[in-house]
Structure 1
C-alpha cells in the first residue's frame, strides 16, 4: 500500500473497526492522513487480534482507549452498529474539544442523530450527520453520502478533497437520515418480501413458476437472471446490520405518529436469515460464497 507522508492537518479518528472502518482508514491513509482507531472489541482477548490485523493492513494506528483515539483528531468518524451509535456519541462527547467535528455515519433515526448532536455541541465541538446511501463495498470511500448540519458544506468540501463522495443536503440534523431510512424501508422491504415469497414458493415447489411470473410482470428487473439470489444473498450476509437499521426506521415512523410494525417485521425477517447465513459459514465454497439461496431457505422458521 503506497502512502503519502502523514499530514497533521488531516488527523482523523475512526470509532468502530468492523467492515466500514478499515475501508475508510486505508483510503485516508493513502491520501496522507494520520488515522487512529478505537473499537471496543480491542478490549476482548478473542477479538483483539482481528482488529489489530485490520489496522495493520489499513495503516491505521490502534488506540487502546477512546480518549487516546480522539486526542488531536480534527475529524471523528463514528462507524459502529446502529445499536451502539448513541452510546458512542455519549462516550465521545466529554472527550471532544472545540475545533473537532464528530461525523456520525451510523444508520439511526433522526431523533437519535439530534440527540447525538446535542451531546457533542454541548462541549463546543461540531457535529455533522452522514447518511450512507449504498453499501460501502465495493465503492469504498466513493460511496454516496448525504450530510446534514450547519457545517455540512465545509465538511463536505474537505471530505471530497480526500476522495469522498458527499453532498450537503440540510442545515438541520435529521433530514439526511430521514432520506436514508425512508429509502431503506423500500430496499430492505423488497429483500424481506423476496425471502418470504421464495420461502413459501419452495415449500410448495413452485419457485421457478413464481420467478417466471415475476419476470413476465416486471421485465428488465432481472427475475430471470438471478435477482432473487442477489436479494436473498444480501440479507444472509448483511441482515444483522440491516435489521438494526430497520428497527431505527420503525423508531422513526413511531416518532412521527406512524405505525412502525411493518418496518419491525422487515427487521425480523432480515435478522432471522442473517442467523441462518452465519450458521452456514462453515459451508462456504472455494470462493468464500454462501450456499445457493434454496439451501439458505430450507428451514421454514426463517419466515
Structure 2
C-alpha cells in the first residue's frame, strides 16, 4: 500500500510544473479539468456561468484572459460560436512559451481563421479534435491533433497517458477528419431516431428494431445509445453538424443528409 501511495505521489510531482488553463467548463471542459487535477496537474479555469462540480484544487479566475495568463497550455473548450471571441480575449497574453488548443467543434476554415488571428504572438497552435463522447473516458478520450504545436503538446503531456494521435502541422486536418466522421455517425443516428419514432407511432417498435439491428450488426443496445445520445447531446451535436454543413458547402457539396441530421437534432431539443 505504501509503495502504491509513493507511486501516485511521484507521478503527481512530475506534473507540478505543468499549468493548464481550461476555458469553458461545461460537460467536456469540466471532465478534462477534474481528471487532470486528479493527475496532479495545476488547473486554472474560467467559465462565465459555471454549473458543474469541480475538483477542489482547481483555481477559478475572473476571465479567459486571467486564466490564460499563468498557463503553459490553454484548452479552449467552448461553443464554436464564441471560439473567435475567446481567442481575441486571450491574445494579449499569448507568446512562444504557450500552447493554444482550439478544441471547439468548428469547421476547418474557422480553425484556420483563429490560427491566423493569433499566430503573430508565436504561440504554438493545435487543432485538437475530440473523437468520441467525453464521458466516460474524460481526458483519456481519443484526440486527433494537427498544427505547429501538435507534437510539442503531445510531448508535454506524455506522462499523463493521454490518447493523442498527431497527424501533421497542417491546421484543419484534425477537424476535417472529425467532421467527415460526423457525417456518418450523426447521419446514422438521425435515421435511427426517425425510424424508432415511426415504429412506435405504428405500434411496430419490435419490428423496426429488428430492421435496424440487421444493418448495424445485431447490436440492439446500440440503437438505444444512438437515440439517447442524440437527445442528451442534441445542442452540441447540432452545432457540430452546422460545422459539417459549412465545411461541405465551402467545397461545393450540397449537404442534404447533413442538413437533415442537424434538423433532427434541433427537433430533439
TM-score normalized with structure 1 length: 0.80
Alignment-derived partner of residue 146 in structure 2: 148
Alignment match of 1:18 (pick from 9, 19, 26): 26
Alignment-derived partner of residue 3 in structure 2: none
Is the counterpart of residue 220 in structure 1 residue 217 in structure 2? yes
Change (3 A) 1:124 1:266: same
Other structure's SS at 1:102 match: strand
Alignment match of 2:72 (pick from 69, 74, 92): 74
Alignment-derived partner of residue 106 in structure 1: 104
Alignment-derived partner of residue 207 in structure 1: 205
Change (3 A) 1:258 1:210: same
Further displaced range: 198-207 or 14-23? 198-207
Unaligned residue ranges in structure 2 (runs of 5+): 1-7
State whether residues 16 and 40 of structure 2, in contact with CA within 8 Å, keep that contact through their aligned partners in structure 1.
no
Unaligned residue ranges in structure 1 (runs of 5+): 42-47, 276-303
Separation in 1, partners of 2:83, 2:153 = 20
Separation in 1, partners of 2:252, 2:184 = 19
Other structure's SS at 1:136 match: coil
Alignment match of 2:183 (pick from 178, 182, 185): 185
Separation in 2, partners of 1:12, 1:18 = 16
For this pair of structures, how many residues does the alignment match?
260
Alignment-derived partner of residue 285 in structure 1: none
TM-score normalized with structure 2 length: 0.89
1:58 CA displacement: 5.3
Change (3 A) 1:226 1:115: same
Is the counterpart of residue 264 in structure 1 residue 268 in structure 2? no
Q: Which runs of 4 or more aligned residues in structure 1 lie more than 4 Å from their structure 2 counterparts after TM superposition?
A: 5-8
